[in-house]
Structure 1
Amino acid sequence: MIHTTTSRRSFLKTGVAASGGLLMAINLPGTLGQAMAAGTVSTPNAWVHIADDNTITIQVAHSEMGQGVYTAMPMLVAEELNVDLNQIKVAIAPPDAAYVNALLGAQITGGSTSVRGGFDKLRVAGAQVREMLKAAAALEWNTDVGSIKADKGILTGPGGKKSTYGQMAAAASRMPLPEKPALKDPKDFRIVGKRTKRLDTPAKTNGTAEFGIDVKLPGMVYATVQQCPVIGGKVKSFDAAQAKGMPGVQAVVQISDGVAVVADTWWRAKKAMETVKVQWEEGAVAALSDTSIIEGTRQALSSGKVIPITKPVGDVAAALKGAAKVVQAEYVSPMQSHSPLEPMNFTAHVQGDKVLLIGPTQFQQGAQGAVAGALGVKPENITLKTTFLGGGFGRRLELDFIVQAAEISKAVNKPVKLLWTREEDMTHDFYRPAGVNQMQAGLDANGMPVAMHFKVASQSVTQRAFGLPKDTLDPFMAEAAVAGYNIPNTQHDLVIHDSGFRVGYWRAVSHSMNAFANESFIDELAKAAGQDPYAYRMKMLNGKPRFANVLKLAAEKAGWGKPVAAGRARGIALMEGYDSYMAQVAEVSIDKDGSVRVHKVTVAADVGHMVNPDTVEAQLQSSIVFGVGAVLKHQITLKNGRVQETNYNSYEPVRMYESPQIDIVLVKSTEKPGGIGEPGTAVAAPAIANAVAALTGKRVRRLPITADALRTA
């Protein structure tokens, strides 16, 4: 049973005059009502709109960027409302404190939190509406509410009485909001947990889905920008004389972090921008290289302030001193770009102190607040509409491009669609920070670890983005730092090192570097002990049934221990991330040019209670391919502060022919839902690295594992 203390007053009743329907804003347990009393806002509201034609519209508070929330969220409501999913329509929620993501503390889509945060809340929303409809029918038909059934949008009662939800919606608005609506037993689910076709697929295939790049407004003009080649640099001066005389060009304006050209078409704006000559004040970042960033990060491990991730267990120093063998290793993860298919873009229309913003964002409140601050207007005077996102991966948590669009619109007094070039997008990202992990373990006479010391240095995105106080533990640096193995003496530390370069959250955030270090190191320990990597891991998983189960399932499905084709080898890795437990087995070979080819990845995943298994599989496929790119190809390099990778020819995506066969085993579970959009990316790296080491005998400890890296290993 889910408990709610939401008051009758907090149930907003708004009659929809044109349709005779009802818009019902359901305050959810422990949400805005309670939070306001405590002076804080902690969880979102879910909005349910029942129209007189008996269609139901759900306002989803999460941005859709391919992860399937426009289907999963309605499935939760439809389940408790006892309606078919095809009766549900989806609307995108506007910025509002009512839609704060409780797991992240803001109206943010990220961290694989959508289903985790919405599973109970949206079911309660549906159950509350269902019970109010039944109560209204019971009152109107003068019968006991227990005799009323609500199913497929129809209310039925004794004597053949019948009404649609839409016909009863207005009366339902006068019913008290139930504080403790009964939720379905999962064994009775008809929708949740079943493979379901995505609701947004038709619109995305027939061209009616609106992405930011598709937005059109009456009288709209187009803009592109030129920013300093060194991120953070400022304009000293610029010469736009030639650009201003080119066809269609309407203005060339300086904005806070660059120069924008505005024209009647985007192509004309782009061609004119190529003639604009800018003198830049590059700033201190111009002295950086990727090598200096990594070396500074490495040095910080010995000179920086150590922040414990967890309380130490046992006495690591003593256990290392008495160990039969001590193993040490260092692992390096480079900076990574988000590089979504749809470059950064946003449409803005500034009219005096009123602002309209339309586009792809993962952070609605942040966008509203940033533009309000930049333009000196009140946040409540800003209307923001979220479109579909053509990829996010954390990049669209940032607000730079949204502020730029608003600044340009204000300067030209017209609605403006800003669209970055691919080169601007690639070279002005908020990159996944570089990380250096140092590992140390002591083994007993049987080769099993008696002590483990994990230490990581990296940059704190949370410090940069949200003002985390200095020398404070950043949980987004510590993800997957503590592995699931039983080791008697353990210590886990981190050091925050600010390189000065701009960094951001990236798919799987620090899981990606910490899992690479932990799981590569476990393989190295198994080799030092002369044991099979799978069996070695299983020995350390007593009392860890979810870990052990996915490891066993992945190994069995992949044929671990059975011969592989000539010239191939397998590697295995294990991790928990965002309450999901996952093991992967990668099968690799080496091509004639010395590069690694991943033929197959077998994954076993226990993600708790699944809403839509079809989406879970799609997310695993997507995240694994994303991970293949990160481990074999991708890194952001700097020269004189300038990003050297400028387009997909120098930051190559994984091509179709390079994508591995992906075999998936999903564990049926009644545990609380886990996140699934990101962990697969993190587990792919060590699984592939371990397979490469098994095949070649060479351990590459610095990503990516390129042909050159293998030759010099």
Structure 2
Amino acid sequence: MTSRRDFIKVTGATGAGLVLGLHLEAKPRPGEAATRTFQPNAYLAIRPDGMAVLTVPKSEMGQGVRTSLPLVIAEELDLDWSRVELVQAMPGPDFRHLGTGGSTSVSTTWITLRTAGAAAREMLVAAAAQAWGISPGQCRTENGFVNGPGGKKASYGQLAEAAAKLPVPKAPKLKAPGEFRLLGRPTRRVDGPKIVVGKALFGLDTRRPGQRFAAVLRCPVVGGTPKAWDASKALAVRGVKAVVPVPTGLAVVADGTWPAFKGRDALAATVTWDEGPNKDFNSKDLETRMRAALDGPADTARSTGAIVPALAAAARVVEAEYAFPFQAHTTMEPMNATALVRPDGAELWMGTQNPNTAQERAAAAVGLKPDQVKVNVALLGGGFGRRSGTDFSTEAAQVAKAAGGGPVQVVWDRTDDIRHDQFHPATLHRLKAGLDGRGSLAAWSHRIAGGAVLRSWLGGKKSPGQAETEANGAWDLPYDLPALDISYAEVEVPVPLGWWRAIEIVPNVFARECFLDEVAHAAGRDPLAFRLDLLGKRGKVKLGEEELDIARLRKVLELAAEKAGWGRALPKGHGLGLACHAYDRRTYLAAVAEVSVEKGSLRVHRVVTAVDCGLVLNPEGLAGQVEGGVAWAVSALFSQITFEKGRAIQENFDTFPVLRLPEMPQVEVHTVASGEAPSGMGEPPVPVTIPAILNAAFAATGKRLRRLPITPADLA
């Protein structure tokens, strides 16, 4: 069975057992003497000058992995953090699974990186002990040095040559958490200063000798192709060098980005399009089909008890329908990639979450083997799942090959970025709850209808795990219920679909936690007490292949409510709302939002979160992730993509609004101390923040908001 998490593990995660066998012998970096540089594995090297070179196996898109992952190695190796140089990993024999996504960067590399650092530490200690004629047990490491009795001391650089000759330990001893001196302490991001002053290099900053620039004119309808055009209009623009057909449209190649855009605009006025089979696709018809699917056949994601008799026997049945729209990613750095294609090889420069797949697909597109394509991974100006796609990098390779004569950077403008996105799908949700005569929840049904991201990513194939993937956040309901039924009905859509920040969990938890609030009020219960009763005093519960720890979820819910002052008196027009979720059964998070509604306007004043994500590597990084997730969630309340005549209507931030600085709420982050292994934090804040805000809006107005985006009319 292939689920979304299985897919990420295969295409995007470095598993703990995946790379431990690499470089069991010391291997020098190119150009350095094998006997002088200590490189016991693919992740680190220590030069004779004592500088530690750490290779980062994940892409940095603002989530802080270029800080947190090197910290893991530095901790086990007892490095001097000020003497660390970072190198970004590239696809190749050492790194075959470099994908970044699913909030798995830390959890899937945690043991691997610790082992890499610990093995190097033991080798350096062994080299020192050998030189001093003492046992390794008499040595200790600290801040880039090995210390021995009687004041003996040697730097890692001094020991590098001797350590490089020693065998790599297969099972080095890892530190106990109580021994950590770097992990768990607030650490500023390594790239932060350069980003602030504009010195950090993103994909868009790529400049190569002889580089040209290109913009691609794409049919506004997915699947459409150009039938006829007049290239002379584009070629008349100063700086435009060529117009070349490529599989995605017509590429205008120029000596700068601006002339490429101007040439593309001039060309657009001359093109006749064959709009293909999707020219009549529109959002209204899709909603009609989704609503019909709510009554048709569906795939079961989870079923417990007998739902039909349970609903029939209920003293009261509560029913509601929730709607979530198509969404775009709108990364601040639009899609771009630079490619150089020669007959014997190619090279790519870009920000990507999926370097290995980008390498494979670019190679196939230009008739090369993957190992003939070098991929240089830059910093990402936002990813959110969009840069897991490889459409933009494959296109750049195709443009460069068609244009010939050196590197070409293909740049998308904001309209390209929004209208040709890999969209998060629109979904409809029908929920039913049966209350018994005492007001207790006895039955729960949640039917989801919409497009399948997993099918889109698997090239049109339906996976046996599709229902579980598309119902993620709904089927893993943590509440103790005697009868429940969670199902998914696929509705085909012609547009490309892609995972968004927090994927399908966002709309599914939005519907689930808002409806649960509705049911609590129907039962005359406080929403917090209602949830706590449904969670009960249980411990670990098996859900699918994993366990969900109910006690951990209960604790974050109680903590968030306590810190937010749940139940306190509020000014007129203000309300508190809450929601909780165990993200992928491994990160536990609750949110309480305080909002006000006045004159048709919703203002989010404060969001209080409580988090249990296992061991926190960098508290400062965690806080940033939560704050970013809250900002993302607030933006999602007011944005949508709609289609008419096969076209995405929205094209820029005037019609696809994102959160502005004055609208950012106060965010509080409270963590639960945990001895569990670290889990992800990039995505989990988003799903709980949206329903917490909407539940707060109900508390402020008495009116349910069951459809996004919110409009002033909804709040009137």
TM-score under structure 2 length normalisation: 0.92
Q: How does 1:134-213 map to 2 (within 5 A)?
A: 134-213=125-204
How far apart, in 2, do the equivalents of 1:265 and 1:3 lie?
A: 46
Shift of 1:492: 1.8
Which AA in structure 1 matches 2:79? V
Find the partner of 2:633 among 627, 634, 638.
627
- Assess if the C-alpha contact under 8 Å between 1:82 and 1:151 holds in 2: yes
CA distance in 2, matches of 1:213, 1:4: 32
Match of 1:637 in 2: 642
CA contact (8 A) 2:610 2:672 kept: yes
Shift of 1:174: 2.1
What CA distance in whole angstroms lies between the structure 1 residues aligned with 2:60 and 2:601?
35
SS at match of 1:270: helix
User: Using the alignment, how far apart are the partners of 1:616 and 1:294 within structure 2?
Assistant: 38
User: Is 1:281 equivalent to 2:274 in the alignment?
Assistant: yes
Q: Distance in 2 between matches of 1:137 and 1:194?
A: 29
Structure 2 CA distance, aligned partners of 1:495 and 1:116? 32
Are the aligned partners of 2:597 and 2:715 in contact in 1 as well (CA < 8 Å)? no
What residue ranges of structure 1 are gaps of 5+ in the alignment? 27-45, 101-105
Name the SS of the counterpart of 2:352 in structure 1. Answer: coil
Distance 1:325 1:402 in 2: 54
Match of 1:696 among 701, 704, 714: 701
5 Å matches for 1:377-396?
A: 377-396=368-387
CA spacing shift, 1:692–1:324, aligned 2, 3 Å = same
Q: Which residue of 658, 661, 664 maps to 1:659?
A: 664
Question: For the residues of structure 1 that align with 2:130 and 2:274, how far apart are their CA atoms?
Answer: 72
Q: Structure 2: state its 5+ residue gaps.
A: 1-15, 539-549
In 2, Cα distance between the equivalents of 1:630 and 1:5? Answer: 38
Query: Match for residue 648 of structure 1?
Result: 653
CA distance in 2, matches of 1:15, 1:205: 31
Q: Is the 1:621–1:662 contact (alpha carbons within 8 Å) kept by the matching residues of 2? A: yes
Equivalent residue of 2:279, what SS?
helix
Matched, 1:545 2:551: yes
Aligned position for 2:246 = 255
Alpha-carbon distance, 1:3 to partner: 9.5
SS of the equivalent of 2:535 reads coil
Q: Are the counterparts in 1 of residues 426 and 450 from structure 2 also a CA contact under 8 Å?
A: yes
Give yes or no for contact 2:338–2:349 (8 Å, CA) kept in 1: yes
Of the structure 1 ranges 609-618 and 408-417, higher mean CA displacement relative to structure 2 is found in 408-417
Q: By how many angstroms is 1:21 displaced?
A: 4.0
Could you tell me whether the CA contact under 8 Å between 2:215 and 2:257 is conserved in 1? yes
Among candidates 426, 432, 440, match of residue 432 of structure 2: 440
Given residue 416 of structure 1, which amino acid in structure 2 is its aligned partner?
Answer: V
The C-alpha deviation readout for 1:637-656, integer Å capped at 9, x for no partner, is 11101111100111111111
Give the 3 Å change call, closer, same or farther, for CA 11–163 of structure 1 in structure 2: same
Contact 2:50–2:144 (CA<8 Å) still a contact in 1? yes
Structure 1 window deviating more from structure 2 (372-381 vs 692-701): it is 692-701
Instruction: Return the letter of the residue paired with 1:369.
Output: E
Contact persistence 1:243–1:273 (CA under 8 A): yes
> Cα distance, 1:317 vs. partner?
2.2
- 5 Å-filtered alignment, 1:395-434, equals 395-412=386-403, 413-434=405-426
Cα separation, 2, equivalents of 1:629 and 1:171: 56
Structure 1 range deviating more: 258-267 or 230-239 = 230-239
State yes or no: 1:240 paired with 2:231: yes
User: 1:595, CA displacement in angstroms?
Assistant: 2.4
Q: Structure 1 residue 18: deviation in Å?
A: 4.1
Q: How much does 1:708 deviate?
A: 2.5
Match of 1:22 in 2: 37
- How many Å separate the matches in 2 of 1:149 and 1:136? 12
AA matched with 1:317 = V
**Is the contact made by 1:508 and 1:681 (CA closer than 8 Å) also made in structure 2?**
yes
How far does residue 409 in structure 1 lie from its aligned partner after superposition?
Answer: 1.4
Tell me, in whole angstroms, the C-alpha distance in 2 between the residues paired with 1:135 and 1:95.
Answer: 32
Query: Contact between 1:8 and 1:176, CA under 8 Å: does it hold in 2?
Result: no
Three-state SS of the structure 1 residue aligned to 2:220 is coil
Shift in Å at residue 97 of structure 1?
5.5
Deviations 1:279-333 (A, max 9, x none): 21212221111122222222223324x22223x2222222222221111111111
Cα gap change, 1:638/1:188 in structure 2, threshold over 3 Å: closer, same or farther?
same
One-letter amino acid of the structure 2 residue matched with residue 279 of structure 1: T
Contact map agreement 1:550 1:606 (CA 8 A) in 2: yes
Alignment of 1:358-377 (within 5 A): 358-377=349-368
- 1:93 counterpart (89, 96, 101): 89
Residue 316 of structure 1, aligned match among 287, 307, 314: 307
Give the partner amino acid of 2:597. Answer: I
Q: Specify the SS of the correspondent of 1:648.
A: coil
1:479-502 alpha-carbon deviations (Å, 9 max, x no partner): 211221111222222222222221
Distance in structure 2 (CA, Å) of the matches to 1:142 and 1:16: 33
Alpha-carbon displacement from aligned partner over 1:350-391 (angstroms, at most 9, x marks no partner): 122211100111100111011111100111111110000001
Aligned mate of 1:580, from 579, 584, 587: 587
Structure-2 residue corresponding to 1:523:
517
Task: Report the AA paired with residue 652 of structure 1.
Answer: P
> Residue 307 of structure 1 contacts residue 473 of structure 1 at CA under 8 Å; is this kept in 2?
no
Q: Is the 8 A contact 1:234 1:281 kept in 2?
A: yes
> 1:613 is matched with which residue?
619
Deviates more, 1:620-629 or 1:491-500: 491-500
Give SS of 1:423's match: helix
Deviations 1:422-442 (A, max 9, x none): 111111000100111221111
- Confirm or deny: 8 A CA contact 1:6 1:177 kept in the other structure: no
Q: For structure 1, which segment, 398-407 or 5-14, has the greater mean C-alpha deviation from structure 2 after superposition?
A: 5-14
Identity of aligned residues (%): 39
1:417 is paired with a residue of what secondary structure? strand
1:118 corresponds in structure 2 to 109
Change (3 A) 1:471 1:108: closer
Give the corresponding residue for 1:293. 286
- Note the 1:495-510 alignment, pairs <5 A: 495-510=489-504
In the alignment, which residue of structure 1 is the partner of 2:450?
A: 458
Equivalent-residue separation in structure 1 for 2:305 and 2:31 (angstroms): 68
SS for the counterpart of 1:462 is helix
**Aligned pair partner of 2:481 in 487, 493, 499:** 487
Instruction: From 565, 569, 574, give the equivalent of 1:568.
Output: 574
Contact 2:23 2:40 in 1 (8 A): no
Matched to 1:320, the amino acid is: L
Contact conserved, 1:212 with 1:389, CA < 8 A, in 2?
Answer: yes
Residue 60 of structure 2, aligned match among 61, 64, 76? 64
- What does residue 602 of structure 1 align with? 608
2:653 and 2:525 map into 1 onto residues whose CA distance is: 41
Q: Given the alignment of the two structures, is residue 705 of structure 1 paired with residue 705 of structure 2, yes or no?
A: no
TM-score by length of 1: 0.92
Does the 8 Å CA contact 1:8/1:177 hold for their aligned counterparts? no
Alpha-carbon deviations, 1:650-703, whole Å to 9, x = none?
111111111111122111111221211111111111111111122222212111
For residue 229 of structure 2, give the secondary structure of its aligned residue in structure 1.
strand
Instruction: Give the structure 2 partner of residue 685 of structure 1.
Output: 690
The SS at the match of 2:338 is: strand
Residues 123, 163 of structure 2: 8 Å contact kept: yes
Deviation at 1:9, TM superposition (A): 7.0
Task: Tell me what 2:13 maps to.
Answer: none
Distance change in 2, residues 1:567/1:150 (3 Å)? same
Instruction: For residue 704 of structure 2, give the secondary structure of its aligned residue in structure 1.
Output: coil
Q: 1:332 to 1:25 in 2, by over 3 A?
A: farther
- 518 and 4 in structure 1: CA distance in 2 versus 1, 3 angstrom threshold: closer
Task: Confirm or deny: 8 A CA contact 1:15 1:21 kept in the other structure.
Answer: no
8 Å CA contact retained: 2:307, 2:484: yes
Change (3 A) 1:437 1:4: closer
